[in-house]
Amino acid sequence: MERRAQVIADIGPYLVAPRIEPPLDPGFRPATTARRAMAAAIASSGAGVPVAVAVEQPGGTVSVRETAVFADGHPGAAASHALCERLVKFLLWSRGGSRVWVDGPDGLVAALRHHFEETETGRFDAHMMGDELFGEPFEVVHAARADFPPSRAATSPLGRHLDGCRIGFDLGASDRKVAAVIDGEVVFSEEIVWDPSHQADPQWHFDQVMDSLRSAAAHMPRVDAIGGSSAGVYVDNEVRAASLFRSVPRDLFETRVRGLFRELRHAWHDVPFVVVNDGEVTALAGSMLSGVGGLLGIAMGSSEAAGYVTPDGQLTSWLDELAFVPVDYAPDAPVDEWSGDRGCGVQYFSQQAVARLLPAAGIDTDPGMPLPERLVHLQRLMAAGDPRAVPVYETIGTYLGYGLLEYRDFYEFRHLLLLGRVMTGRGGDVILERAREVLRVEDPELAEATTFHTASERDKRHGQAVAAASLPALR
């Protein structure tokens, strides 16, 4: 706690207030403004040291980022190390990797190693990136830029297959959706409320998903392929980490959950079966609906799901787990209940953000009310013209505008599609307009270059399941 207090004091001078303030969160300090303030201070000091960092997946992609910190011994060195750690965290959760390469001063490397080895939030990230996701020890390597592995991106033309009789499903934290698709035409779709994160029995999870698949299959003459999206990280249809299964004991996770979708595929006579992260399918759905590439898709539901389609229409091997990416550097920013870190996207672009902001708006709800019901309550107030509802959506829209400024530093996108329950109804329009206003004020060039794509209410809620159906190619 003492070290965190010192870090907060160090970075305090660089926490710049946004030009557009979120109505219900005056303490919000965007990541993008803090990093820009730090970069300007380093550039004008004459005491800056260039830094290169890279995040490497085992046998996969290598993503390199260049920045700068104050030289060791400079009064601002600790603050620049703290902001560099935030940048590394962005790379870890957006790109994914178990090895961080650093070409920079000794003090920076020592600070990063201390963070990932000795702090609660750093150990969480290191454990997830190392043991959980990529199956090898996490490490920070101090090396010259010339010794880094070469920058490498892995893309694939996954999806966009709509021939035959297909099932698409999307597993979220509060509901699961399924669609039956025949030669590109949706003949059936269904949404069922569920609560998977509190279920410890893997068989319960298997049965629930199987029930949805059977419902869709009943509306088609046969099943040629099944595609699915789900919150979490999936590699070759294997569950590596997912909040949906948080209550499953570790031994059962290894024996039943990790291979759950292979078990389901076998139950469906081994038809082509592909499951990927729900953020990837969000982006794919956006690209299919709009017919463009260079698109960032964000689904605001129980959590924040994100995905990216490259300008040439490809999906990447990146994690795109932006729910864990910090967008607010305020010292009292809300805490993510899973990672324990502050200011992460999940608390700003999801139903959790709504629940957090309702009291500030003067809207009382039962403390035991589930998050989806709190959102429905807000939506009803908005539809009824209750003035208390508007600031909630304006605040989320402000978050989104500054979040997009941060995301644009790491993703090459000119198109944006927003999906999910939070974007449903009149409140979604308020969020979009407020985000556009932030971009116009803070970065007019980016505002001009970014196209916001809209979708029908049906597509907002079910677009992911339909896009998921297109994932597998028929044999």
Calculate the CA 174 to chain-centre distance: 17
Please give the average per-residue pLDDT across 325-340, as a whole number. 94
Of all residues in the chain, the percent with pLDDT exceeding 70 is 96
Helices 426-442 and 389-408 sit at what angle, rounded to 10 degrees? 50
Q: What is the reported pLDDT for 299?
A: 87
**219: burial class by Cβ within 10 Å (0-12, 13-18, 19+)?**
middle
pLDDT at 174: 81
**Confidence band (pLDDT; 50, 70, 90) for 12?**
confident
Q: Quote the pLDDT of residue 1.
A: 46
Report the predicted TM-score, pTM, of the whole model to 2 decimal places.
0.90
**Segment 241-292, tens digit of pLDDT:** 888 999 999 999 999 999 999 999 999 999 999 999 888 888 888 888 888 9
Asked if residues 104 and 144 have their Cβ atoms less than 8 Å apart, the reply is no
Alpha carbon 438 to chain centroid, angstroms: 21
| Rounded mean pLDDT, 119-133 | 95
**Contact yes or no for 339/121 (Cβ under 8 A):** yes
Contact 295, 467 (CB under 8 A): no
Mean pLDDT of the chain: 93
The pLDDT, as a whole number, for residue 291 is 87
Token pair, residue 279, equals 């953020």
CB atoms within 10 A of CB 255: 11
Question: Is the pLDDT confidence value at 458 over 70?
Answer: no
Q: Identify the pLDDT of residue 144.
A: 97
What's the DSSP call for residue 253? I
Q: How confident is the model at residue 457, as a pLDDT?
A: 60
pLDDT at 380: 97
85-89, 102-106, 191-195, 376-380: which range is least confident on average?
191-195
Burial of 220 from C-beta contacts in 10 A (0-12 / 13-18 / 19+): middle
Structural domains in the chain, sorted by start = 46-153 (no CATH), 156-277 (3.30.420.40), 281-466 (3.30.420.40)
* DSSP letters for 24-76: T-TT--BHHHHHHHHHHHHHHHS-EEEEEEEEE-TTS-EEEEEEEEEPTTSTT
SS3 419: strand
Structure tokens at 281: 């399918």
